[in-house]
Amino acid sequence: MPAQPPIFQRVPGASSAVVDGDTVVLSPTDMRYHALNDTASAIWDELAQPRTLDQIVSSLSERYDIDPDTCRDDVDACLASLADVGVVSSQPAPPG
Amino acid sequence: VGGEEVVGPNEHVEIDAEALGGTTSGLRPERHPLERQRTNTSASEEGGHLAQRRGSVKPTQRLGSLPVARVAHRRRFHPGNLGGHQDRCHHTVLCGPVEGGPRDRDERAVGFETEPHPDEVEKLEGLLGCTCWEHGSRVRHDHGVSDTPRPTRVLGAQVRYEPAPDPPAEPVWTHEGASATADTVWFPSEHFSVCVRGTTEVIIEELPGGDESLIGPMLYGWATRILLLHAGTFSLHGSLVRLGDRHVVIGGNSGAGKSTTIMALALGHGAQIIVDDVVPIRIEDGMPIAHPFPRPVNLMLDTIERLGLEVDGARIGQGPYQKRAVDLGEATGPVPVDLLVTLVAYDPDPHEDWPNTVDPIEEPTDEQPVILNSVAGAERLRRITRLANNQGLAAAGDRGQPFFEWSTALAGSLPTVEVARLRRADTLDEVCRRIVTTAASLDHS
């Protein structure tokens, strides 16, 4: 059976707010604020519900004029950044 | 210690605007749903409209527009200094009997205004019930200091002058010797150690050689902010004035010129000063509402002279940076906040006592000594957290989440401009003019 792709989600306690058009996220581990650029903000919105990388890429590719490979690279890098600052985590998909 | 700040500046909560940069190569911004027109305005656009809303709360009381010379010259010897802790005596001792001056609990004179006669020394020792007179250097140091009123209550909390308890073993916040648990804060200075417990108690332990004239500013500044935090109310480090039908917070670090500016606005532009240095703000129905409290304005002596004031209030601090307290009387009721002005005093060649602590959006020059810029989005939030977070204390422990909600709500609802000026006296008039013009330009819709 092929490995299930990980599911990305917002870390519990990672609050966000839109301030005058800018999305700002609170990292619950160190209480630092992080202002998201437009790409990160769009991905953060996608993560209102847990998503796989493919689901995020598929959704953004439909909304933006971008080829899927480039979009995947961008989303992958952004998810890594969001995980680094402690506002996004991933977990294995449930079996089945 | 500059009178207002007991603990040095630092930032605990900050916005890392660059942390997630560099990931926009694939998404074309022209199709992005969050693409928007930025609302920044340049100095030349200061007369333009800033998005603005009307609050539903109206002021319930007005103050006079010229709050000067309302403080009588007061000499007090605080009863808390009599008896008690003989082994840590820091009594203020004046020289020579003062007719009608301070008295102890038994109504005996304890103050002196000239060099004391040895008999008076003996008498004083007997009155105080301790050997404080042996602290010769302390006595000389304190000549004239006791004209400072020593509050016994601040924001409803009792102020006690006694040895401070030991700081906690496991604090939730520390900064340069200060520390805090969920409901108690300890902070030291070279003048005194302070412990603020909950919302009801402030303990001040004076230290040998300390300047007791700094107690008042500390109580009305740091201690007040902490008491507010313990009561669940966040505040901005700034001063609130009423300009026409607008309420404007003049914010900025210590030394930015807040008090000087609000006095100049009062004297030259009819502003009403509502509260200085600490502006408690709550978000009510999505709107920022200030909840003023009574406290004096503390002005540098050269500012008093420059503004032509006659002030006979309590002296604060020593040497060239000493201030005088100007009483504002009773506080107004809650008022909506319409505009935040962040003052930045910039010096291309800064004096070591007044370093540039904030980088302005645009550096003022000799050709353009005062520059106004609108502050929007995450940058506005960054400015607000700087003015509100008290070196990380406001967001410490369990307050992190509520502070985030408060600061983002405030940043999302409060039009903000930065006024950067060269740190020199002749920029004051232009700073005031810019603030008045900006407040008048706010959209009334």
Over residues B369-384, the pLDDT tens digits come to 999 999 999 999 999 9
Total Cβ atoms within 10 A of residue B214: 26
B304 or B109, which is more confident? B304
Q: pLDDT grade, residue B314 (50/70/90)?
A: low
With CA atoms as reference, report the closest residue to A83 among A17, A22, A27, A24.
A27
DSSP B289: E
Over residues B326-384, the pLDDT tens digits come to 666 666 789 999 999 999 989 888 877 777 878 899 999 999 999 999 999 999 999 99
**Does position B33 have pLDDT exceeding 90, yes or no?**
no
Q: Where are the alpha helices (DSSP H) in B196-248?
A: 215-218, 224-230
Range with the poorest average pLDDT among B81-85, B173-177, B407-411: B81-85
Dihedrals φ, ψ of A29, to 5°? -80, -40
Residue B178's pLDDT is 92
Strand order in the sheet with B297-300: B297-300, B323-326, B315-316
Q: pLDDT grade, residue B254 (50/70/90)?
A: confident
At what angle are helices A68-84 and A38-46 packed, to 10 degrees? 90
Q: pLDDT grade, residue B270 (50/70/90)?
A: confident
State how far the Cα of B167 lies from the Cα of B133, in Å rounded to an integer.
30
**Does position A76 have pLDDT exceeding 80, yes or no?**
yes
**Does position B12 have pLDDT exceeding 50, yes or no?**
no
Q: Where are the beta strands (DSSP E) in B234-302?
A: 234-243, 246-251, 272-275, 278-284, 287-290, 297-300
Mean pLDDT of chain A: 90
Residue B63's pLDDT is 23
Tell me the mean pLDDT in the region A15-20. 93
Phi-psi region of B252 (alpha: psi -120 to 50; beta: other; left: phi over 0): left
Q: Residue B27: which of A15, A18, A74 has the nearest Cβ?
A: A74
Whole-number percent of chain B with pLDDT over 70: 58
B31 and A65 in contact by Cβ < 8 A? Answer: yes
B408 and A19 in contact by Cβ < 8 A? Answer: yes
Enumerate chain A positions whose Cβ falls within 8 A of a Cβ in B: 13, 15, 17-24, 26, 28, 31-42, 60, 63-67, 70-71, 73-74, 77-78, 81-82, 84-85
Tell me the mean pLDDT in the region B89-115. 37
First-to-last C-alpha distance (Å) of chain A = 10
**Does position B76 have pLDDT exceeding 60, yes or no?**
no
Residue B313's pLDDT is 63
Tell me the mean pLDDT in the region B406-415. 96
Q: pLDDT grade, residue B430 (50/70/90)?
A: very high
Dihedrals φ, ψ of B375, to 5°? -120, 125
Q: Residue B24: which of A39, A60, A82 has the nearest Cβ?
A: A39
Q: A44: distance to nearest CA of chain B, Å?
A: 12
State how far the Cα of B74 lies from the Cα of B426, in Å rounded to an integer.
33
> B420 with B261: CB under 8 angstroms?
no
| Residues of B with Cβ-Cβ distance to A39 under 8 angstroms | 20, 23-24, 26-27
DSSP string, B116-160: PPHHHHHHHHHHHTS-GGG-HHHHHHTTTGGGS---SEETTEEEE
Tell me the mean pLDDT in the region B246-264. 87
Tell me the mean pLDDT in the region B81-96. 29
Q: Residue B400: which of A18, A31, A81 has the nearest Cβ?
A: A31
Tokens of A14: 């990672």
**Does position B16 have pLDDT exceeding 70, yes or no?**
no
At what angle are helices A53-63 and A38-46 packed, to 10 degrees? 120
State how far the Cα of B320 lies from the Cα of A85, in Å rounded to an integer.
46
State how far the Cα of A3 lies from the Cα of B378, in Å rounded to an integer.
40
